[in-house]
Structures are given as structure tokens and as C-alpha cells.
Amino acid sequence: MRSAAFLLVLGLWACSPEEAAPPPSNANAIPLPRLAGVDSDVVAAIEAARAAVAQDPSGENWGRLGNRYFVHDFLAEAAQCFAHAEELEPTRPVWPYRRGLCSIDDDPAEAEQHLARALLALDDHAPAHENYAHVLARLGREDEALAHYERASALDPRAPQPETGLGQIYLARGELEAARTHLEAALQRDPRHGEAHTAVAQVYFGLGREKEAQAHAELSRTLPQTSRREDVYANPSVPPAGARARTRMGKLLERQKQFDQALEQYRSALASNPDYYAARAGLAALLNRLGRSDEAVEVLREGERRNPDSAQVREDLQRLLDGKGLEARGEE
């Protein structure tokens, strides 16, 4: 039986690309964010991408500039570039998809329009349904959100995120047994999924299962509360530039167990910006994980020398010296 989400996607085909994707205003402008204080190699990469658009304003070059802005969180500028790219290449769903992701946190109504358009071609892509469900839930369209979370769960039966999304909606509705079923399913898929532990603790408390609620609440405090979802359409393949992007690449490579390459990215991040602590903590944590604790300690000692007033570096250094290990900190 086809899901309600699938039927919704079919219905969206009635809109033509011209109707669904209004062209951006000021078509000749190449957006430029404020770059004061930005790592020099990031500035160079942006300038190169802008020059390519100026020389050849093709959909591909607009998309590449958008990708560059996107990975460095210049989201307003990225959205403008993706709008140009979509106007020139209306059959490529990656452009409206990333355009929707640019506003997914700050403007769900805006994001919904673009993600719905992208979903016409991405019905078999689980993360696309998850992102669309997320904005639908924020817009109060819970029944539609449930359908898309169900579709995502069926498409990727190993991912905890769609089951967590279902559980969170049922929890908000006060349907505790339904919430419990989905959240327990999420934890079966990933026992270390922080969001599911947080939500199931609330469910168990509401069901009078206080000891279980306390156990999950305590465990949730040791786990990240934002899960990393691998999504090929949401992660542009651009050469990393700058401390932040290189740190993100290092963490991705670390999850893929490509440790030598991850170490290289962390070190490159520190070469770009020696005071970017997420890179320093990531490098130290991975070195310690690989049994190279002396090197990890020296990485943090260098950070202490650069910033002697940092309570964070002192705390992390003491943890290493005490043999307690170190969790990499900072942004994904």
C-alpha cells in the first residue's frame, strides 16, 4: 500500500517548475557576505568561485558558489546562488533541496516550499522525507509530518532519526504508548541516539516508569543531542577550506575510520586558524583514541600556551593527564 507521503509527492507534480520556482531578483548580482575575520583560505576559495560565476554564469557555477557559501554557513548568500542555479537547471533537485536547507532552522515556511519541490525527484531519499517532515511539524502540519517520517523509516530501516521524529510528535500529542513504541524502535536502531533517550525519558516518566525514565535521562546527558545524518544531497563535495570546514571533514573521516586522513584535516584546520578549539580538541581526542596520548597532551599544551586563560583547555588537558579520555568538542 502506498503511503500518504508518496501520494502527496504525486500530487505535487501538478505544479510546473516555472510556477514552483520563482526566479531570484536582481539576476546579475553575485552575493558577497561580510568576510572580515574569515580565514584567508576561505576568502580565496570564495573569490575563486565568484570569479567563475562572473566569467560564466551557468547553473553549475552558480551551484558551486552556493555550495561554497553553504559549507561555510553563509546561508542567505547560498540560498541566492541556489535560486539562480535552479532557474538555469530546473531539473536538478539538489538546488531546491539545498535552498530549503538554508532556511530550515529560521524560516520553516520558506524551507517547506523548496523542500517540497525537491521531493518531487527525491521520493526514494530518506533524509529528504525527514527534513520535509521536520518543517511540516514546525508548521503544525503533524499528520503530514507523520506520513513523511513513516516513509523515511521504511526507506532506511537502520536510521534512528525517522523513528525519533515519530516518537517526538506522538509525545507532543500526549499519545505516550505510540511515542514509546517509536522511540524504543529508534534506540534499537542506535542505542546511543541522544534525542531518543531524552524523549523516551519523558515518555517513561509520563507512564509512571520513573526508574527507567531516570536511567534514560542520565544517559542522554552523556550523548550528543543533535545527531549527524549522512545525506549526500545535503553535503556538497567541495574541497575544504578554513578551520571550520576542515574540522568537519576531519570528523567525517573519523566516523569513516579514515584516521590518517582525519588527522591531516585537523592539522590543516589548525594551520588555517591555530585558535579554533574544535580542531585542537578533535585532533587531541583522535590522537588519544589511537593510543598516542603524549602527542595529544602536547596538542593541548600548545593550546594552553596560546590561550592561558581558557578554562576549557585546562579542563580537557587535566582529563587527559588523569587518563579519563577526551570527547572532541565543537561543531560538526
**Residues 313 and 247 placed together within one structural domain of the fold:** yes
The amino acid sitting at 6 is: F
Q: Quick one: cell of 155?
A: 526507506
Q: Is residue 266 part of a domain?
A: yes
- Three-class secondary structure of residue 94 per DSSP: helix
- Say if residue 28's pLDDT is above 80: no
Q: Is residue 212 part of a domain?
A: yes
Q: Is residue 83 part of a domain?
A: no
Domain containing residue 307: CATH number: 1.25.40.10
**Residues 198 and 261 placed together within one structural domain of the fold:** no
- Residue in 248, 228, 226 with CA at minimum distance from that of residue 237: 248
Q: Burial letters for 272-301: b for 16+ Cβ neighbours within 10 Å, e otherwise?
A: bbeebbbbbbbbbbbbbeeeebeebbebbe
CA atoms of 245 and 41, how far apart (whole Å): 11
pLDDT, residue 269, reads 93
To 10 degrees, what angle do helices 194-206 and 176-189 make? Answer: 150
Q: Is residue 179 part of a domain?
A: yes
**Residues 211 and 273 placed together within one structural domain of the fold:** no
pLDDT, residue 4, reads 42
pTM, two decimal places: 0.79
70 neighbors 98 (Cβ within 8 angstroms): yes
- Say if residue 25's pLDDT is above 50: no
Total structural domains within the chain: 2
Q: In which domain, by residue range, is 277 found?
A: 242-321
**Residues 314 and 248 placed together within one structural domain of the fold:** yes
**Residues 213 and 246 placed together within one structural domain of the fold:** no
330 falls in which pLDDT band (50, 70, 90)?
Answer: very low
CA 213 from chain center: how many Å?
28
Q: Is residue 174 part of a domain?
A: yes
CA atoms of 87 and 269, how far apart (whole Å): 35
CA 322 from chain center: how many Å?
33
- Say if residue 316's pLDDT is above 60: yes
**Residues 262 and 206 placed together within one structural domain of the fold:** no
Q: Of the ranges 8-12, 91-95, 275-279, which one carries the lowest mean pLDDT score?
A: 8-12
Q: Is residue 89 part of a domain?
A: no
Q: Is residue 263 part of a domain?
A: yes
Q: Which residue has the higher pLDDT, 3 or 47?
A: 47
**Residues 299 and 248 placed together within one structural domain of the fold:** yes
159 neighbors 231 (Cβ within 8 angstroms): no
pLDDT digits (tens, 9 = 90+) for 56-103: 999 999 999 999 999 999 999 999 999 999 999 999 999 999 999 999
pLDDT digits (tens, 9 = 90+) for 215-241: 999 999 888 877 778 899 998 888 888
329 falls in which pLDDT band (50, 70, 90)?
Answer: low
- Say if residue 7's pLDDT is above 70: no
**Residues 249 and 307 placed together within one structural domain of the fold:** yes
- Residue in 222, 321, 244, 327 with CA at minimum distance from that of residue 284: 327
Q: Is residue 130 part of a domain?
A: no
- Please, where are the H alpha helices in the chain? 4-12, 17-20, 40-55, 59-71, 75-88, 94-102, 108-119, 126-138, 142-155, 161-173, 176-189, 194-206, 210-220, 242-255, 259-272, 277-289, 293-306, 311-321
Instruction: List C-alpha distances in Å: 23 to 89, 234, 289.
Output: 12, 22, 50
